[in-house]
Amino acid sequence: MRILLVGAGGVGNSIAKIAAERDFFETIIVSDYDLGRAESTIAWIEAKGLARGRFVAAKIDASNPDNVADVAREHGATHVMNAVEPKFVPTIFAGALAAGADYLDMAMSLSEPHPTNPHSETGVKLGDDQFAQAGDWESAGRLALVGMGVEPGLSDVFARYAADHLFSEIDELGTRDGANLVVRDEAGNEIFAPSFSIWTTIEECLNPPVIWEKDRGWFTTPPFSEPEVFDFPEGIGPVECVNVEHEEVLLMPRWVDAKRVTFKYGLGDEFIGILKTLNQLGLDKVEPLRVRSADGPVMVSPRDVVAAGLPDPATLGPRMTGKTCAGLWVTGTGVDGSPREVYLYHVSDNEWTMANYESQCVVWQTALNPVIALELLATGVWSGSGVLGPEAFDAKPFLDLMALPVADGGYGQSWGLREG
CA distance 55 to 181: 33
Query: Is the alpha carbon torsion for 216, 220, 225, 229 positive or negative?
Result: positive
pLDDT reported for residue 381: 98
Distance (Å, rounded) from C-alpha 216 to C-alpha 290? 43
Helix (H, G, I), strand (E, B) or coil at 157: helix
| CA 352 from centre of chain | 20
pLDDT, residue 316, reads 74
Task: Give, rounded to a whole angstrom, the gap between the first and last alpha carbons of the chain.
Answer: 42
Backbone angles phi, psi at 276, to 5 degrees: -65, -40
Are 129 and 90 a contacting pair, CB within 8 Å? yes
The backbone torsions φ and ψ at residue 230, rounded to the nearest 5 degrees and listed phi first, read: -115, 135
CATH topology of domain 154-361: Dihydrodipicolinate Reductase; domain 2 (3.30.360)
Dmax (CA) for the chain in angstroms is 71
**What local confidence, expressed as pLDDT, does residue 196 receive?**
67
Torsions phi, psi for 22 (to 5 deg): -110, 165
pLDDT of 275? 82
2-149+363-415 and 154-361 share one fold = no
Of 261, 217, 279, the C-alpha closest to 391 is 261
Sheet containing strand 2-6, strands side by side: 55-59, 27-32, 2-6, 79-82, 102-104, 143-145, 386-388
Nearest to 121 by CA among 220, 34, 265: 220
Angle in degrees, CA 284, 289, 293, rounded to 5: 115
Look at residue 350 in the predicted model and tell me its pLDDT: 94
- Rounded to the nearest 5 percent, the helix, strand and coil shares of the chain are 35, 25, 35
Confirm if 13 and 81 have CB atoms less than 8 A apart: no
pLDDT score, position 294: 80
Preceding omega of 297 cis (within 30 degrees of 0): no
Per-residue pLDDT of the chain (420 residues; tens, 9 = 90+): 999 999 999 999 999 999 999 999 999 999 999 999 999 999 999 999 999 999 999 999 999 999 999 999 999 999 999 999 999 999 999 999 999 999 999 999 999 999 999 999 999 999 999 999 999 999 999 999 999 999 999 999 999 999 999 999 999 999 999 999 888 888 888 777 776 677 777 877 888 999 999 999 999 999 889 999 999 999 999 999 999 999 999 999 999 999 999 999 988 777 888 888 888 888 888 888 888 888 888 888 888 888 887 777 767 778 789 999 999 999 999 999 999 999 999 999 999 999 999 999 999 999 999 999 999 999 999 999 999 999 999 999 999 999 999 999 999 999 999 998
Sequence ranges of the domains in the chain = 2-149+363-415, 154-361
Of the candidates 368, 359, 383, 381, the residue with the CA atom closest to the CA atom of residue 413: 368
Q: What are phi and psi of 261, to 5 degrees?
A: -135, 130
Picking from 240, 241, 225, 258, the residue whose alpha carbon sits closest to that of residue 158 is: 258
Sequence-ordered list of residues with C-beta below 8 angstroms from that of 305, at least 6 positions apart, any chain: 283
Question: If residue 47 lies in a helix (H) or strand (E), which one and from where to where?
Answer: helix 35-47
Domain 2-149+363-415: CATH architecture, name and number where available? 3-Layer(aba) Sandwich (3.40)
pLDDT, position 201: 79
